[in-house]
Amino acid sequence: MPAGLAGVVALAGAALVVSVTGVVLTRRGRPFGTGPLTVHKLVALAAMVYYGPLAYRAGRSSGLDGFEGAVLAAGVAVLLVAFASGGAVSAMKEPPAWIVWSHRIGSWAAIAVSAGGLALLA
C-alpha cells in the first residue's frame, strides 16, 4: 500500500472537507464566500498534489494489471477535470451551465474514481 494508512486517512479527510465545502458553496450560491472557497480549493489542490504522483509511481513501479492502471489514470484525469471546471466556475461571472454542471457532477465522479484507485492499491 504505497499511500500508507496515514495517507489514506489524510486523503479521506480531504475528500470530506472538499465535499462539505463544495455543497456549502452550491447551497449558498453567489457571491461565493471567501472562507469556504479558499478551504475548498486549497484542500483540493493539496489532495491532488499528493494523489497524482502516488498514482504515477504505483503505475510505474508495481505489477498493476491493465484495469488497475486504467482506474488510476482515470482518477487523475477526472481530478484534473474537476479542478479545471472548479477554477472556471469560480473565476467566471456567469459561467455556462455546462461548466457549472460538469463541476457539480464531475467532482463527485472524481472523488469516487480516485477513491476506487486508492482502494486498488491497498
Residues contributing to the site for ligand HEM (CB under 6 A): 18-19, 22-23, 25-26, 32, 40-41, 44, 48, 79, 82-83, 86-87, 89-90, 100, 103-104, 107-108, 110-111
* Minimum CB distance to ligand HEM, residue 69 (Å): 21
* Nearer CB in complex with ligand HEM: 50/108: 108
Dihedral-angle region of residue 29 (phi above 0 means left; psi in -120 to 50 means alpha; beta otherwise): left
Q: All 3 cell numbers of residue 120?
A: 486498488
Q: How far is the CB of 82 from ligand HEM (least distance, A)?
A: 4
Note whether 52 and 79 are within 8 A (CB).
yes
Nearest-angstrom CA–CA distance, 100 and 33? 17
Nearer to ligand HEM, 26 or 62 (CB): 26
